[in-house]
Structure 1
Amino acid sequence: MSAQGQTTEFTLPDSLSSGRVWVAEGELQFFSLVDANGVIQLVEPSAVNPSDPSAAVNWGFVELTNTAEGGIYANISFVDFVGLIMSMKLTLGSGETQTVSGLQSGVIPTICSELKDQAAADSQPWDKLCVTDSSGNALRILSPNQYASVDPTAFSTYYDDYIEQVWTKYAGEDLTINTQADAGNVACRVNGDQLECDGDNRGYPKPTVIDIWGCNSGPFAIEDPDNDVHRAVVPRLCAAFYRTTLLVDGGNVQPGVGNSSYYTTDPTNHYSRIVHKYETDGKGYTFSYDDVNPDGQNAAGVVSGPSPTVLELTVGGFS
């Protein structure tokens, strides 16, 4: 990484799909291996494994896709962890600019302190999400779904009562999913052990905590035969569970309530609540479907558009 106040420039010579721009205070180590099919795979630094050669390095990344057909799509992601603080500004060929400011400068210890307070309040291991260096200083913060790979028993029953309340509520009234697409509003109702939605090719069993935090397993796994209704319901339903907005006033329409209602009832994901609290502009993915929002809102921290000219990354955050 360049010294404070310095700039490094590079040009992308061609299209790039599903890439990352990594920035570190120190040296990151990447490896490659050949899988069982003879395909070379990249092994990236792990934020979770304390034995990883890069475990003591402070790093972060911006996710990036840039193609001639689709233009650019870039985002700041805290889905796996919070590390080196970064922001970005996109300039398009039209002259339009878009900015995502990211987290406040020097806020990692503050977030760790609030997670410690939350752990004391509800006896859940929120404080364990904070990773420290050899001197005991906060280095990074793991998301709960990543921490679960370290301790699979953590938070295991966290949402049990909430899920039962949701199932009881929507056995007696419709949950409306606004697909924000051609399918329009879709009515869903609990029938026995599953939530069933009109026009959907299959129902949704009760999720586990891992299903909710990962949004890609159990009822939220999307398979090839699934129809357009199912593919639209999954992200909106998982986002509602993740933000625990299904029981708040107006929560019977998803997405319906705005970001002022996210993470306001317990149990909820306090990692995401606190991280969003310290984002300078409230934007940045804290889970994979943070781009699910009522029309006109954006919690995801995305910049995008055709014919990009410059993507500026700023390291260190804003005061």
Structure 2
Amino acid sequence: MRYLTVLTALLGAVSAAPSLVYRAKSPFSVADPGTAEDIVITADNTLNGTFHSPNTTIVNKNAIHSRALAGNLPIKLINNFSGNQVNAYISGLDSDNRVVFIAADGSLIYPSSGGSSVPVPINSNIAIPLPSQGNSITVTLPIVLSSARIYFSEGNLQFFMVKIPNGDGLVQPSPTNLSDPSSGINWGFVELTYTNALAVFANISYVDFVGMILSMSLSTKDGSGTQITKGLDSGAVSQICNGLVQQGNADGYPWASLCVANSAGTPIRALSPGDYTAINSAGFQNYWNGYVDQVWNQYTNNPLTINTQSSGNVNCQVSGGTLNCSGDNRGYAKPSAADIWGCNSGPFAIQGGDNAIHVAVVPRLCAAFVRSTLLIAGGNIQPGVSASQYYTVSPTNHYSRLVHQYEVDGRGYAFPYDDVNPDGNENASGVLSSGSPDTLTVSVGAPLS
């Protein structure tokens, strides 16, 4: 039980930096923050925008007159965090697809790379300091915003700009690069879209990782009431990492290494298995092989029914090594571990010419693999079994299992198609939306009551 002994020490009070020998024994991946030279630019950590100016520009909120840009969304930020100073950052693309940050006073900050193909730090005052624990601040979003995020961090996050072929790109903190300049910081974000019609879509997602604890609600003006996604419990990162250590002890896979610890040995985030492959591509390479073979054997002799929930039931069966579904424009080869973690590659990659049945089968089939429901009783109909039967056999996505275990209300995506559910009222997504929003409230550090 060496891992459990180490974890107990890691999660206890640490008064001094650990020795090199101590760190070597850690079951966790350890962050080692670097400089701009250590940034790895990928599609996952870059927000591509159009070019606006060779210099950073600031637009005072009182100067925003264009009707196309106008908006008025109050965002209330509540500090329920018991640690050090928390900063918020609101970023996204404006209606001209330019990268923009919203300052605390509602002004717009348009950072520029200055034409540099090497990431340059944003030195403008983009941080929104939150007041002390138990207090809140309200920032008004004065423009429509797409591909937006509201970041929260214990300390200062570092953002960079870089020249891209058709404009300027925002290089965001990477949860998977252990040498990223912000890798040792406890941080997280909620996703936000504020449309031209002034509708709001906000989401807490754990598809990539679990970091700083966030919770949110959306009040409305149309009488439909307040929506809420409570997110994870305040101690969830430690609890999830504890569970991952136990799982690694049980099956020998590097589940504990999904947890990233800071220099003090304290876990600050837990990565999804798919994102962990950026650190160790071989760790789970063969994880699903036996299960996939069993599924293919099962449905060579027996039919699998996919309830498309849009085009009726579709019968599927394995023939010649390929799973074929009635009315589908193409079949499904055996998926790899990477295909199952991400649900967007190999047989689960959706192409432009795919028909409606294929588009409906992919998420339901991949969700069944992630939740390991294809071989249990009732698994011949997908989606069919209740959420209580997800993740009940191994192999399975134990990261997703633990995330949902510690969600206060069971909501928040833990993999890309976590909104696939049987017909009825079950809903694992954490999306809040309204065409008539009043105030978006986000709590950091502990769930909203």
Which 5+ residue runs of structure 2 have no aligned equivalent? 1-86, 88-129
Aligned to 1:85: 213
Which 5+ residue runs of structure 1 have no aligned equivalent? none
Deviations 1:178-202 (A, max 9, x none): 1111x11111111112111111111
Distance 1:115 1:59 in 2: 20
Normalising by structure 1, report the TM-score: 0.96
SS of aligned partner of 1:8: strand
Q: CA deviation at 1:70?
A: 8.3
Aligned to 1:229: 357
Aligned to 1:111: 240
The alignment's C-alpha RMSD in Å is 1.4
Distance 2:158 2:135 in 1: 23
Q: For structure 1, which segment, 69-78 or 291-300, has the greater mean C-alpha deviation from structure 2 after superposition? A: 69-78
SS of aligned partner of 2:359: helix
Aligned to 1:167: 296
**Residue 211 of structure 1 contacts residue 217 of structure 1 at CA under 8 Å; is this kept in 2?**
yes
What residue identity is the alignment partner of 2:371? Answer: R
SS of aligned partner of 1:235: helix
Aligned to 2:99: none
**Residue 176 of structure 2 contacts residue 271 of structure 2 at CA under 8 Å; is this kept in 1?**
yes
Q: Is 1:190 aligned to residue 318 of structure 2? A: yes
Q: For structure 1, which segment, 265-274 or 64-73, has the greater mean C-alpha deviation from structure 2 after superposition? A: 64-73
Q: CA deviation at 1:15?
A: 2.5
Count of aligned residue pairs for this structure pair: 317
What residue identity is the alignment partner of 1:227? Answer: N
**Residue 86 of structure 1 contacts residue 314 of structure 1 at CA under 8 Å; is this kept in 2?**
yes
What residue identity is the alignment partner of 1:233? Answer: V
Q: 1:282 aligns with which of 394, 397, 410?
A: 410
Deviations 1:141-200 (A, max 9, x none): 11111111111101111111110111111111221111111x111111111121111111
Q: For structure 1, which segment, 15-24 or 245-254, has the greater mean C-alpha deviation from structure 2 after superposition? A: 15-24
**Residue 93 of structure 1 contacts residue 306 of structure 1 at CA under 8 Å; is this kept in 2?**
no
Q: Is 1:152 aligned to residue 281 of structure 2? A: yes
What residue identity is the alignment partner of 2:334? Answer: K
What residue identity is the alignment partner of 1:261? Answer: Q
Q: CA deviation at 1:68?
A: 4.2
Q: 1:205 aligns with which of 313, 333, 353?
A: 333
What residue identity is the alignment partner of 1:273? Answer: R
Normalising by structure 2, report the TM-score: 0.69
Aligned to 1:29: 158
Aligned to 1:137: 266
**Residue 198 of structure 2 contacts residue 436 of structure 2 at CA under 8 Å; is this kept in 1?**
no
Aligned to 2:181: 53
Higher relative contact order (CA 8 A, sep 6+): 1
**Residue 98 of structure 1 contacts residue 303 of structure 1 at CA under 8 Å; is this kept in 2?**
yes
**Residue 144 of structure 2 contacts residue 198 of structure 2 at CA under 8 Å; is this kept in 1?**
no
Aligned to 1:127: 256
What residue identity is the alignment partner of 1:33? Answer: V
Of structures 1 and 2, the larger Rg is shown by 2
Q: CA deviation at 1:13?
A: 2.3
